[in-house]
Structure formats: structure tokens, C-alpha cells
Structure 1
Amino acid sequence: MTITINQSPAADRLLRLPEVLKKVPVGRASWWKGIKDGRYPAAIKLGPRTSAWRASDIDKLIASL
């Protein structure tokens, strides 16, 4: 039995901060403050010093702006 999920490959992609900031034109400090304040989506921790965001979360953010 095979289960398929109907999501585009782009929605599953993880974006690192430079890619996110190209899509959402704010500075690094403003981005991190926005996460702390709840305006921007939380990061997914990939390691102790590595964070990423789901492309679908960033697309939803852009659509809401």
C-alpha cells in the first residue's frame, strides 16, 4: 500500500536565512525580532547553529502581507 501526499516539492523545501531574506525584504535583526514577537514563522532547528524555514510557511507569510 502506497500513501501519497499532494504537496508540491517546493512546499517541502527548507530555506536558510539568506533565501528567506531575499523573499521577505527585512534585515537579519528585524527578522529575528519578528520571530520573537510572533510576526514571522518560527525556525526549524537543524543543528546547534543552523536554522531553516519551510518554504510553504514563508509563502503564507508573503501572501498575508
Structure 2
Amino acid sequence: MDKFLRLPQVAEMLGVSKSTVWLYAREGKLPKATKLSPRVSVWKESDVMALMEKASA
């Protein structure tokens, strides 16, 4: 089962700001977040890892 990551965790893993995470999601570099509530969004850890692997290749 995939682990879910919140915005600060994703930003830290990618080494970017929180606004850059949203930019990546809008540009399609990172899949859109899953909304758990109006103020809580999460990403699957595997999606973030895939972006990191793609960036390092």
C-alpha cells in the first residue's frame, strides 16, 4: 500500500518550495494531489519518487 505525503513532506523530498510543488502539479510534472478535505491535499509517495528518479536520469 502506498504512503501518502502532505505538501511540506513533498517539498522537502524534492528540495523545492511549497509553491513549486503546486507549479509542478499544474504543469503535469507531478500528478495532481488527492484532496482529503478542502484544506488537505496529499500525493502518493510512489508518484513523488518517480518524479525524483526522472529528474535524476
* TM-score, with structure 2 as normaliser: 0.84
Of all paired residues, the percent bearing the same amino acid is 36
Partner of 1:40: 30
If each structure's strand is expressed as a fraction of its own residues, which one has the higher value?
2
Unaligned runs of at least 5 residues, structure 2:
none
Equivalents in 1 of 2:15, 2:29: separation in Å?
Answer: 14
Unaligned runs of at least 5 residues, structure 1:
1-8
Deviations 1:18-43, CA, capped at 9 Å, x for gaps: 11111101111121112111122210
Larger radius of gyration: 1
* TM-score, with structure 1 as normaliser: 0.75
Q: Give me the CA root mean square deviation.
A: 1.1
Aligned length: 55
If each structure's helix is expressed as a fraction of its own residues, which one has the higher value?
2
Any runs of at least 4 consecutive aligned residues in structure 1 with deviations exceeding 3 A, and if so which? none
